Structure 1
Amino acid sequence: KSEYFMCSCLGKGSHNVQKTPGGLIYRQRWNNLQFVTSASFLATVYSDYLVSSGRNLRCDSGNVPSSELLSFAKSQVDYILGDNPRATSYMVGYGNNFPQRIHHRGSSIVSIKANPSFVSCFGGYNTWFSSKRSNTNQLTGAIVGGPDAYDDFADERKNYEQTEPATYNNAPLLGVLARLSGGHGGYNQLLPGIVIIILKFLLLSCYK
């Protein structure tokens, strides 16, 4: 299943994953980037596994060098950080054009340092949720849900499917960025059981 999934991500399998016109993996409208960051992390791990075992990826179209998996992962990260048809970074605070109205209560409501008045649950919803203003507290580094199947994105607080951040979006991305910073040298991934555990976990996440 691991080879099958990797080949499908590269577009070289018998049944390939859907991608947007801009090249982003697309699974579903609600928080699609969770699948993108997880699949990208899996690609970096599997690439190093192939290097460590002296193998190439075996796809229906033929053997594929491990370096293509790293290039694929980089393309997905580049898209997330702004190299996409909208020139939008889906990491809050990164670049010149990023989401300003994310679906996050703490980020939306004014800081207690600016206004110490009590904000009730309903008060926060009625006053801040429907506001058209940018978030008063910037949640720097957060990865939001991302664009739809056509690379479109509506920066609206009520649009939770696209503007809600999640820790499970960021967690795999940290691993991808750490690996990409190491170049194409490769890391030993033949530690007993580690690769198998990672692959099983991520494959279950991607196919759920």
Structure 2
Amino acid sequence: MQYVSNAAFLLTIYSDHLQTLNRRLICDRGELGSEEVRVFAKSQVDYILGENPKATSYLVGYGSRYPQRMHHRGGSIESYGENKGFIRCTQGYDNWFHRKGPNPNVIVGALIGGPNEKDEFSDDRKNFMQTEAYTYNTASLVGVLAKLHGLEDDGVFNSPLTASR
């Protein structure tokens, strides 16, 4: 999702640029206006949030179906509220990393790596390429969501956050 979230963010910025200059994007197959660029950016966010072949949200904690075995130490170890014992450095790995069950802590709002180029996704803690979250994925998605929310407030179109949950 790194490339999807970053591209969607850049598209929202570029659509504003096109609108400000009253210009169109010229492509080999035709021209696109700022609104069409925004709609495409929104379609990418919709994919991230679950409008995809797996019907899975790749934003942890969003929707009814999202990854349960995120590759994340804080997500995969027991909560301090449940186990107040001291946790040594390797103990977190040794005791919790290889568990089959879902993470005991949901890292709400974390955008994970997502599916491979064939839209295949394996929700497995050991599969760090697909289940690890990175701040540079999530940060750009926050920017896109903020823009889409602003467009919703302006009545342009529905934000993915309020369209369906």
Match of 1:36 in 2: 4
Separation in 1 of the partners of 2:81 and 2:27? 57
For the structure 1 residues 135 and 185, does the alpha-carbon distance in structure 2 shift closer, same or farther, using more than 3 Å as the test? closer
The residue matched to 2:26 in structure 1 has which SS?
A: strand
Q: How far off is 1:125 after superposition?
A: 1.0
The residue matched to 2:99 in structure 1 has which SS?
A: coil
Counterpart of 1:114 (choices 82, 86, 89) is 82
Q: Does 1:127 align with 2:95?
A: yes
TM-score by length of 1: 0.71
Letter in 2 for 1:177: L
Question: Residues 34-73 of structure 1 correspond to what in structure 2 (within 5 A)?
Answer: 34-73=2-41
Counterpart of 1:158 (choices 126, 130, 147) is 126
Q: How far off is 1:36 after superposition?
A: 0.9
Separation in 1 of the partners of 2:14 and 2:86? 50
Question: Between the two proteins, what is the percent identity of the paired residues?
Answer: 54
Q: How far off is 1:34 after superposition?
A: 1.2
Counterpart of 1:89 (choices 53, 57, 79) is 57
Provide structure 1 residue ranges, at least 5 long, that are not aligned to the other structure.
Answer: 1-32, 187-208
Provide structure 2 residue ranges, at least 5 long, that are not aligned to the other structure.
Answer: 155-165
Letter in 2 for 1:136: P
Q: Does 1:147 align with 2:138?
A: no
Q: Does 1:173 align with 2:144?
A: no
Deviations 1:65-96 (A, max 9, x none): 12111011111100000111110001111111
Kindly report the root-mean-square deviation, in angstroms, between the aligned alpha carbons of the 2 structures. 1.6
Q: How far off is 1:185 after superposition?
A: 10
Asked if 2 retains the 8 angstrom alpha-carbon contact of 1:67 and 1:184, the reply is no
Letter in 2 for 1:143: L
Letter in 1 for 2:72: H
Question: Residues 167-206 of structure 1 correspond to what in structure 2 (within 5 A)?
Answer: 167-183=135-151
The residue matched to 1:147 in structure 2 has which SS?
A: coil
The residue matched to 1:63 in structure 2 has which SS?
A: strand
Separation in 2 of the partners of 1:62 and 1:165? 36
Q: How far off is 1:184 after superposition?
A: 8.3
Asked if 2 retains the 8 angstrom alpha-carbon contact of 1:92 and 1:98, the reply is yes
Q: How far off is 1:109 after superposition?
A: 0.6
Q: How far off is 1:183 after superposition?
A: 2.6
TM-score by length of 2: 0.89
